[in-house]
A and B are shown apart, each in its own frame.
Chain A
């Protein structure tokens, strides 16, 4: 139980385009989803926290107009990187926590991540 999927697993795009990444909880209802970014050999950096049906809470220094987060249902959250630039190239990972299904309450279960390369 407690499986989280992400799509796509990797994406290459041109500078200036927008990229949407989906995060789904497959066997539990995710009341909260988190989005992280990780640069090579660095630690995970939390970008934002989203609760189903409400606006995301962004960490300091993360531009909410550039990284659009939507958490429309208890099983799906999306991150859209708008007008992507080469410096946005990174490993984007979502996690989800919930209280049903095979999930332990309050535990964050991570998706497999999405590698973004902006040319």
Chain B
């Protein structure tokens, strides 16, 4: 089975940095995706990590350690529009590249 653990909620101030941690236990792991989902909307793709290390993309960075089953998403220079749920989703190669989603982390950005 698949097990994904990430915090339920986080609160941060506009302009600050927030790090969302995700640990997973999954068989047939291929890579890990991060998606952003605003309330009432579908998820949008943020990042994809296959190799260990940090991938930087503008204000968002994502890190992966395959041996530790650990990833984090780093949001810098937070803006009000970043208030959303952030979904950590391991990808299973052997199962047609399907994703498993946890409950997500709801980030609230305050002025």
Residues of chain A having any CB pair with chain B under 8 Å: 2, 32, 34, 42-46, 49, 51, 57, 93, 97, 104, 106-113
The CB with the most chain B CB atoms within 10 A, among A51, A106, A109, is that of A106
CB nearest neighbor in B for A94: B42
Count: A-B pairs, CB below 8 Å: 51
Q: Quick check: is B91 within 8 A (CB to CB) of the other chain?
A: yes
Q: How far does the Cβ of A41 sit from chain B's closest Cβ, in whole Å?
A: 9
- A44-B43 CB under 8 A given contacts A106-B30, A106-B31, A108-B33: yes
- A57-B43 CB under 8 A given contacts A43-B101, A106-B30, A108-B33: no
The CB with the most chain A CB atoms within 10 A, among B31, B42, B91, B104, is that of B42
Give the size of the chain B interface in residues (CB under 8 angstroms).
22
Bound together, the chains give a CA A2 to CA B31 distance in angstroms of 19
User: Could you list 20 further interchain pairs (A-B, Cβ under 8 angstroms) beyond the known A43-B103, A43-B104, A49-B98?
Assistant: A2-B45, A32-B97, A43-B102, A44-B101, A45-B101, A46-B98, A46-B100, A49-B96, A93-B43, A104-B48, A106-B30, A107-B33, A108-B45, A108-B97, A109-B45, A110-B42, A110-B43, A110-B44, A110-B45, A113-B42
CB nearest neighbor in B for A92: B42
Residues of B within 8 A of A42 (CB): 103
Bound together, the chains give a CA A49 to CA B95 distance in angstroms of 9
Q: Quick check: is B107 within 8 A (CB to CB) of the other chain?
A: no
